[in-house]
């Protein structure tokens, strides 16, 4: 927790999280709204990625970053930081700048990356029904270190970091995949991307947290 709090001590990283709370953004968009160079913006993003605070989905040639509340357990701390910043005059102006950069129509389109249209777009199954599935069609998208710590025997590990932007290399469009992660945030993000690219996906709700609860 100490390292993660330290990583959020920079005002530019708080601005990044404030912007990502509104909508997923790519580096060039974050750079513009922050008023920083793209290399400098990338340094901040790399630190947030390393700490598990943000994640990304690759759509086409762009990576769209979002706050990973599934992987980052101290999400109430993030919410508090964003909430405090947004009530400041600077925070209000910064939020306005994000809305001026990204149109309301584009924010609506990007809800395919967020969870705001999940019920319309995605299919779900509860973790309690996992044993009813053909495990050849179930993939655990957590990182290898998470998988090694605990996993369901017979379910293979295909990390999100490996699949991002390379779905056709590892998955088939003829198979309906059941996607499992620690909770279900990363599963939702990957499932949306898969469906958007013509794959079939079902989110396993509550993930490994639910399996061991």
| Residues sharing a CB contact under 8 Å with residue 83, sequence separation 6 or more, in sequence order | none
Q: Provide mean pLDDT across the span 97-115.
A: 79
pLDDT-derived band at 46, boundaries 50, 70, 90: very high
Report pLDDT for 3: 47
C-alpha to C-alpha distance for 11 and 134, rounded to whole angstroms: 47
Predicted structure pTM score: 0.57
Closest CA relative to residue 34, chosen from 10, 67, 4: 10
pLDDT at 74 over 70: no
pLDDT tens-digit series, residues 108-155: 777 666 555 555 668 999 999 999 999 999 999 988 888 998 899 999
For the chain, the structural domain boundaries read: 2-112, 118-211
Bin 204: left if φ > 0, else alpha if -120 < ψ < 50, else beta: beta
- Please indicate whether residue 21 or residue 75 has the higher confidence score (pLDDT): 21
Domain 2-112 shares a fold with domain 118-211 = no
What mean pLDDT is predicted for residues 54-83?
73
| Topology of domain 2-112, CATH | Arc Repressor Mutant, subunit A (1.10.10)
Helices and strands per DSSP (H, E), number in the chain: 13, 7
Task: Report pLDDT for 2.
Answer: 46
118-211 is classed in which CATH architecture?
3-Layer(aba) Sandwich (3.40)
Contact (Cβ atoms closer than 8 angstroms) between residue 171 and residue 177: yes
């Amino acid at each position: 927790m100490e390292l993660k709090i330290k990583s959020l001590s920079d005002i530019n990283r708080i601005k990044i999280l404030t912007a990502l709370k509104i909508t997923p953004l790519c580096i060039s968009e974050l750079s513009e709204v922050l008023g920083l160079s793209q290399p400098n913006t990338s340094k901040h993003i790399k630190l947030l990625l390393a700490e598990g605070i943000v994640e990304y989905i690759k759509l086409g040639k762009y990576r769209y970053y979002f706050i990973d509340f599934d992987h980052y357990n101290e999400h109430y701390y993030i919410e508090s930081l964003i909430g405090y910043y947004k009530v400041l005059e600077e925070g209000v102006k910064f939020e306005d700048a994000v809305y001026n950069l990204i149109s309301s129509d584009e924010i609506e389109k990007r809800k395919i990356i967020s969870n705001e249209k999940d019920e319309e777009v995605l299919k779900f199954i509860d973790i309690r029904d996992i044993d009813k599935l053909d495990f050849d069609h179930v993939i655990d998208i957590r990182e290898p270190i998470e998988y090694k710590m605990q996993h369901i025997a017979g379910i293979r590990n295909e990390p999100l970091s490996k699949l991002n932007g390379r779905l056709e290399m590892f998955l088939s469009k003829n198979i309906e995949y059941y996607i499992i992660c620690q909770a279900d945030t990363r599963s939702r993000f990957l499932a949306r991307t898969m469906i958007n690219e013509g794959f079939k996906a079902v989110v396993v709700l509550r993930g490994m947290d639910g399996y061991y609860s």
